[in-house]
Each structure stands twice: as C-alpha cells, then as structure tokens.
Amino acid sequence: MSKTEPVKPAHFIRQIISKDLEAGKNEGRVATRFPPEPNGYLHVGHAKSICLNFSMAEEFGGTCNLRFDDTNPEKESQEYIEAIKRDVTWLGFQWNGEVRYASGYFDQLYQFAVELIKQDKAYVDESTPEQIRAMRGSLTEAGQNSPYRDRSVEENLQQFERMRAGEFADGAAVLRVKIDMASPNINMRDPVIYRVRRAHHHQTGDKWCIYPMYDYTHCISDALEEITHSLCTLEFEDHRPLYDWVLDQLDVPCHPQQIEFARLNLNYTVTSKRKLKQLVDEGHVSGWDDPRMPTIAGMRRRGYTPASIRNFCEMIGVTKSEGVVDVSMLEFAIRDDLDKNAPRAMCVMDPIKVVIENWNQSEEQALSIAAHPKDESLGVREIFFGKELYIDRSDFEEEPPKGFKRLIPGGEVRLRGAYVIRCDEVIKNEQGDLIELRCSYDDQTLGKNPEGRKVKGVIHWVSAAKALPVEVRLYDRLFNHESPDATKDGSSFLDHINPDSLTVKSQAYAEPSLANASADLPYQFEREGYFVLDAVDSSADKLVFNRTVTLRDTWAKVNK
C-alpha cells in the first residue's frame, strides 16, 4: 500500500471475508450480488448496499452480480429496471457478465418446489389468507398445523400442478414448506413459498400464474449463481434460518453465507419506497428524479457526484447496530468533493443594475480569472467588465447594519477578479424602490489594492452586456422534521414537507463561461453555493441550474 493510499476501516464484513480467504473457504473465491426489486427508483440507502457489495468484490478480486428480484410483477416495470442499471453504472460499478433476473430461474425454482413436495417437505394449503395468518400464532403463542399439512405427496404434487395450470383463483391456494409451527421464529412456521397470482410479467410475459416468494427465491438464486457472501440488511436476520433451511434440503451448487448489516437511516429523510412513490404519485415532487428526493437519480440531478456518495458510504462504515446518520455528513461529503474539484463561476441571483459612470471605452474589457483558486490544471475563464453590470441586491445596503462590509452609498467594494468601485448615487422609482446604482471605478485597482485606503469587501458580479439569463433553483431539505416518518404525535410524513424546499430565482444572470456548462460538471457559484446544470429542464434557450448544497451548513443555525 502506498503512503498516500488511505487505510480502509476494518469493518466486520471485511474481516469475515478476509478470514474466509485465509482459511481457503469457497476455493478462495469472493462472489457477491446486488439484488434490487424493480418496484421503484433506488435511493441513498441502496447506494450503501451497492457500494458495499461491489467494493467488497472489487477489493478481494471477486465478482458482483446485478440480479433483479422480480417476483412481484404487479409492482415492477421496465422503467425501474433501466433506472437501476443507470444508477449502478453512474456510481462507477460494473456488474459481472449479463444482468440477471430471478425470473430467469423460475423453471428451476418450480422444479425445486416439486422436489420439496416429493421429500414430503412442502404441501399445498387451500386455507384462506386470513385462516393462514390466524394459524401462524404470535410471538408468544405457537402456531397451529393447517388441516392440509398431512396431505399425501401424490395429492400435493397434483394440487401444485393444478396451481400452475391456473385451476385455482388468486389467493385460493399456496405452497408452504413443512418446518415447525411451534418455532419461536415465526418465519419458520411453514412459510409460503408459492402463491397464485395472475399478473403479466415484464420478463416472462404470461407464462406463469404462480410466483415464488422472495425468501424462497433469493437463497436459491444466490446458490445457482454460486454467490459466496450474501450481504443484506438487518431486517433479514430473522430470515436467515429459512435461507439456510431451504438450501439444506436441495441439491444446489453451493451454500452461500448470509451476512446482515445495518441499513442506512438518515435524519430529515424518508427512504421507504412506498412513501417515495406516494410523494411522486401525489405530486408533492416533480418525479422520482426531483432533486429533493433521496433517490440516486434525484441526487445526480441535484449535482451529487459518484465520488461523494461512495466516500459518504465509506465514512459511515458498516455495523451490526442500527443508528441514525446526520444528513449533514452526506452534505459534508459533497462539499468536500466539490470544494476540491468544482470550477468556479459567478451568478447574480437577485440583480441590481450598476452603471459605471466613468467607463468611457466602447467595448467590454475581457479579464482572465482562475477557474479554481487551488487547481491550476482547470485553467482560466474569461469575464467581462464594462459600462453596465449586475450585482446581487443583498450586497448593497442604503442604511447598513453594523459590520456590513459590502457596498454602501459613498463606500467602496472590490468586484471579484476586477476593479474597486464606489457607489456615487442611488436611483429609485416613484414608489421608492431601488432600481439602479451609479458608480465609478478605480482603473488603478485591477489586481492590486488602491493606494492610501483599504477596501474590505469583495462581491461577485456579472457584465450586463455579456451575462447569460438563467433560472436558478435553490433546493433545500425536503422535510423540516428530523424524523418525518417516525413522529410521536401521530402526524403523517407529508405534514412535515418543508415549504421552503424549493425557491426559484427566474431572473438571475450568470457569467458567459457557463454557456458551456454540463449536467455532469457541478460549479461553485462564488459566495452562493454549489450548482449544476439541470439535465431535464435546461435547453439552448433556457439554462436552469440546481443548487446542490450551500457553501456551509447553515441548517442548524437557521432552524433552531
């Protein structure tokens, strides 16, 4: 390891895999998988799982499969599949071989179910869903055997074939495995592994009217793909005995090791797919990729970078204990990345016109300014100084408060990368509203301080003649409650939507270098924050920029 390469934290999964390799387990192989359900867009919680599965395979010279857990076709779509593939690729990972689908194993899953019936370890149950739930018992009471539990193998084979042939109505019959109705783990009380459901499948069409359950499908899919380490979140810990039980009954290529880790919980954030879909369906946001959404697509549109998300996932670590991560850590990760890598530019959100009265040249003066103050490799950009400029309304005060270091009547301020100007006259309309400032510039102050006086303030500006009219969208946190979906007062997460999560500045002006802005290259708008060109709503006629994050974390101060 080089002296500059950071030491990776030795989290428990990294330790498990290292010990397995040292012991020669799995013939020295490491094979992981990322198995999303294609029933929505991936969110930042999935990013943790993506980074963990792919990075472990990458670190130990192994492979990571992308496999869609598509056993619930009514809630799935090709749109979600394509979005998930884009997200994984954008984060910088490449899956092993072709994309895989659980539905690609439906024939084998069916045959394995037949084998379980032949072993007298599975039976067709024609009880109603309500009866099955009642017979399962509770955490304190054992379950009761189904009246169908002792059917003969021959009858179960016949009934299961009838299920496949569509001779049962939806919900009229299920296939259950025969384990232990008195088990303290409710997941082991004869769980359902197949149900009747007439639904068109996005991959298999109308071939099947029965679909396997997740717990049954997942472990077999892992085994067929010869996965060595099946990494999943803590809610599946109680499902691990079933995972192991199913594989122990069948002749499969290998028996993967399921390892659970704590999922990512962020404050001020909702990551339930059902609730995210509700936000979209009810129009609280503009779509799955709304920049306020915690989806990877939304974060990308907002200006988050793959490096920032991967660094964030490494920062928060991998543990066995549930906890809540402060969203400011995520914001720190993107600030840290963009401070080092984002080119600078100037944009005036709330413009006031400034007329330079002593400017006598017929043309604008081109000035060269660094694209990044600490990275010369990013080169320079060209800005223009001339007769008419725009500065931000917040940078002028007619009656300044104490400590105000920007422009005031009769006072001076430096324009970033240009000259020192002095405000000589304030122009107002009939209603008394400020409409224009008349100023003069000191032509001896380009790149140097004025002689005999000290100018403290530096403000951003743009040339009125050369500026680009742009729309700027100031995004903030979507929720103003730190636990929007876990409140104790009975309120809905929708009650805590932040009314100020989006402010639109439709009359902004940006420096001309942004004419070539890309949706994949965030900028720092000097003194304002980090911004990126909106990939959806921008056009040649209308440039739209989204705020990724402010320059500093001001949320706690503002929302005390």
Please state the φ and ψ torsions of residue 148, each to the nearest 5 degrees.
-95, 0
Dist. CA 80–CA 82, nearest whole Å: 6
User: Residue for token digits 């074939």?
Assistant: 161
C-alpha closest to that of 352 among 413, 435, 472, 432? 435
Amino acid, single-letter form, for residue 6: P
**8 A C-beta contact, residue 496 and residue 480:** yes
Dist. CA 212–CA 279, nearest whole Å: 30
First to last CA, the chain: 45
C-alpha closest to that of 532 among 289, 332, 301? 301
Catalytic member of 195, 273, 335, 473: 273
C-alpha closest to that of 459 among 343, 340, 303, 354? 354
How buried is 2 (Cβ within 10 angstroms: 0-12 exposed, 13-18 middle, 19+ buried)? exposed
C-alpha closest to that of 367 among 356, 378, 383? 383
Dist. CA 513–CA 468, nearest whole Å: 9
Dist. CA 2–CA 12, nearest whole Å: 24
**8 A C-beta contact, residue 14 and residue 56:** yes
User: Residue for token digits 């996005």?
Assistant: 202
What is residue 325's three-state secondary structure?
strand
Helical axes 153-164 vs 106-118, angle rounded to 10°: 160
Alpha helices in 60-93 (DSSP H): 78-90
**8 A C-beta contact, residue 303 and residue 532:** yes
Q: Is 273 a catalytic residue?
A: yes
What is residue 81's three-state secondary structure?
helix
Q: Is 130 a catalytic residue?
A: no
Amino acid, single-letter form, for residue 78: Q
3-state secondary structure 473-500: EEECCCECCCCCCCCCCCCCHHHHECCC
Dist. CA 215–CA 239, nearest whole Å: 7
DSSP characters for 194-256? Answer: EEE----BTTTBTS-SEEE-HHHHHHHHHHHTT-SEEEEEGGGGGGHHHHHHHHHHS--S--P
**8 A C-beta contact, residue 498 and residue 269:** no
Please state the φ and ψ torsions of residue 265, each to the nearest 5 degrees.
-115, 120
**8 A C-beta contact, residue 298 and residue 290:** yes
Catalytic member of 37, 126, 226, 364: 37
Q: Is 275 a catalytic residue?
A: no
Active-site positions read 37, 263, 273
